[in-house]
Chains A and B, each alone.
Chain A
């Protein structure tokens, strides 16, 4: 299947979903005013992609900022991945990257980790 990508802009993240390497990445800032509309093609691609069982998927979040509306979309993505792991014989690893001193971004990662049963790595980076 085709890969999926959206180039980053000032209020939308870079999205790169690679169906050959099974590495899915979302990076940057996300504060679109209408996230339901913005993420619609993202969910459509994921639904299609997760239709095939048995994949080993790495999902990388490298966010510097996201609004509360994007926060719910991310949980929805994680829930889809959790369901895939449980029901489609998949194996999903989440890498949550945060800038070393960004306590709020670290906490965001921890809160997602508590809400889904997936391998979750919280990884600090220095800028």
Chain B
């Protein structure tokens, strides 16, 4: 049999996925076509439809954050411009589904993230709703395609605090990890 030079790394990857109960992992750019495939996969999860919809909504917001704001960007023929690269996984434990994203962020964004998430995690449902509505009324920001509502929406859809971390790598680049949970029983 021909020797497969990368078989070891695939085995290692598989072991990591199994060990962490990761049912879906994607690294790279996230186009709308990829989202379609993810949607099909989520719809096969054994749970209520409303939970699948929540998971899909979270995946979309996280993937589109990566698309627009990841500091690591590659040129895309399809879009005719540079788009963001990152990693996204769906895993689960006994009580929750966990959607996790990872991407490099600019030094400027890294500074904001901590205070922003601390604030969001403090708010109750009613306060989150009011904040969402307040931000939604604001005009579109210059040169930013998003609505600046993604993190608030994630916090609301999740019903749990948002877990996050910024790791600084050997090149002093900031890698932002965000983990959002959805309860299996609503």
Closest beta carbon of chain B to A43's beta carbon, Å: 12
Closest beta carbon of chain A to B178's beta carbon, Å: 15
In Å, the complex CA distance between A74 and B71 comes to: 29
Which A residues touch B145, using CB under 8 A?
33-36, 69
Asked if residues A72 and B136 are in contact (CB atoms below 8 Å), the reply is yes
Contact of A101 among B32, B49, B137, B146 (CB under 8 A): B49
Total interface residues in chain B, CB < 8 Å: 28
Chain B stretch 128-176: residues in CB contact (< 8 A) with chain A: 129, 132-133, 136-137, 140, 145-147, 149-150, 153, 157
Residue of A with least CB distance to B186:
A103
In Å, the complex CA distance between A64 and B50 comes to: 11
Chain B stretch 76-135: residues in CB contact (< 8 A) with chain A: 129, 132-133
Chain B stretch 39-78: residues in CB contact (< 8 A) with chain A: 39, 49-50, 53-54, 56-57, 60-61, 64, 67-68
Chain B stretch 15-54: residues in CB contact (< 8 A) with chain A: 32, 35-36, 39, 49-50, 53-54
Asked if residues B53 and A71 are in contact (CB atoms below 8 Å), the reply is no
Closest beta carbon of chain A to B105's beta carbon, Å: 18
Asked if residues B140 and A36 are in contact (CB atoms below 8 Å), the reply is yes
In Å, the complex CA distance between A12 and B150 comes to: 19
A49 within 8 A of B: no
Asked if residues A101 and B35 are in contact (CB atoms below 8 Å), the reply is no
The binding surface of chain B is classed by DSSP as helix
Which A residues touch B32, using CB under 8 A?
10-11, 31-33
Residue of B with least CB distance to A31:
B60
Asked if residues B53 and A65 are in contact (CB atoms below 8 Å), the reply is yes
Closest beta carbon of chain A to B139's beta carbon, Å: 9
Which A residues touch B36, using CB under 8 A?
10-11
Interface string of A1-31 (1 = CB under 8 A from B): 0000000001100000000000000000001
Asked if residues B147 and A33 are in contact (CB atoms below 8 Å), the reply is no
Asked if residues A33 and B64 are in contact (CB atoms below 8 Å), the reply is yes
Closest beta carbon of chain B to A66's beta carbon, Å: 9
Which A residues touch B53, using CB under 8 A?
64-65, 102, 104
Which A residues touch B50, using CB under 8 A?
101-104
Asked if residues B146 and A115 are in contact (CB atoms below 8 Å), the reply is no
Asked if residues A67 and B61 are in contact (CB atoms below 8 Å), the reply is yes
Contact of A33 among B56, B57, B67, B149 (CB under 8 A): B67
Chain A stretch 37-73: residues in CB contact (< 8 A) with chain B: 64-65, 67-69, 71-72
Which of A32, A33, A68, A75 lies at the interface centre, i.e. has the most chain B CB atoms within 10 A of its CB? A68
Which A residues touch B39, using CB under 8 A?
10
9 A-B pairs with C-beta separation under 8 A = A11-B32, A31-B32, A33-B32, A35-B145, A64-B53, A65-B53, A67-B57, A71-B136, A71-B153
- Name the 8 nearest CB pairs between A and B, nearest first: A68-B149, A72-B147, A11-B32, A69-B147, A68-B147, A10-B36, A68-B153, A31-B60
